[in-house]
Amino acid sequence: MSGGLVAYAALLGGLAGLAAPRVGRRWTARPASKRPGSATGSGALAGAAVGAVVFAGLAAARGDDPALPAFLGLAAFGLVLAVVDLACLRLPDPLVRAAALVVVGGLAGAALSIGAPERLFAAAAGAALSFAGYVLLALLPGSRLGFGDVKLAAVLGLPLGWLGWSPLALGLLLPHLLNGVVVLALLAAGRVRRDTPLPLGPALLAGAWLTVLTA
């Protein structure tokens, strides 16, 4: 994999992560602070670091995949979605729909470029299975899964289905393992209680990202 491509992707990811808190502010209830060194500025710097790592990882792992633009586009929206979900436990429909359009367009272009339109059926099947599975989880008694999580899972099912059935299964399982570890750590540290609502969106996104890296 070209080091230049990875470096360029890291730069793009840094810029996307830097912009994520500002873009996400539209959907959060917290007013923007304009003081230097404020939480907003710290969040932007943290987002830039996360974005650089996310984009560089995708470029290093999938640089020869024609679907890389779709993965990067989804990652850009994922950074904003994670910011919003962490701030106010929301996954806004406009952001989720825009992410879906970017992924569908990117995967369609990739399928045409390699002459394999059947890969789109696999992606669609991945989205449908993800949606159905998370709907069932959301309807379980006592479930705290929101339908924003269900919709995001369906969108993430598109690139996971593109990669195959094994990545799809891992991408569905891994977020819950990651979220479980985070919840246990927060409980042990006394930061949350058993009934404290916590966002699942970041775990869904992180699980999909790790799956794409290892597929």
Q: Tally the domains of the chain.
A: 1
- Provide the domain limits for residue 151: 3-214
**Cα-flanking dihedrals φ and ψ of residue 46, to 5°?**
-65, -40
- Tell me the average pLDDT of the chain: 90
Say if residue 101's pLDDT is above 70: yes
pLDDT tens by residue, 90-99: 999 999 999 9
Evaluate whether 85 touches 182 at the Cβ level (below 8 Å).
no
Q: Which residues contact 181 (CB under 8 A, 6 or more apart)?
A: none
Q: pLDDT tens, 2-45?
A: 788 999 999 999 999 999 998 998 898 654 444 434 445 666 78
User: Shortest CA distance to 159 belongs to which of 203, 99, 202?
Assistant: 99
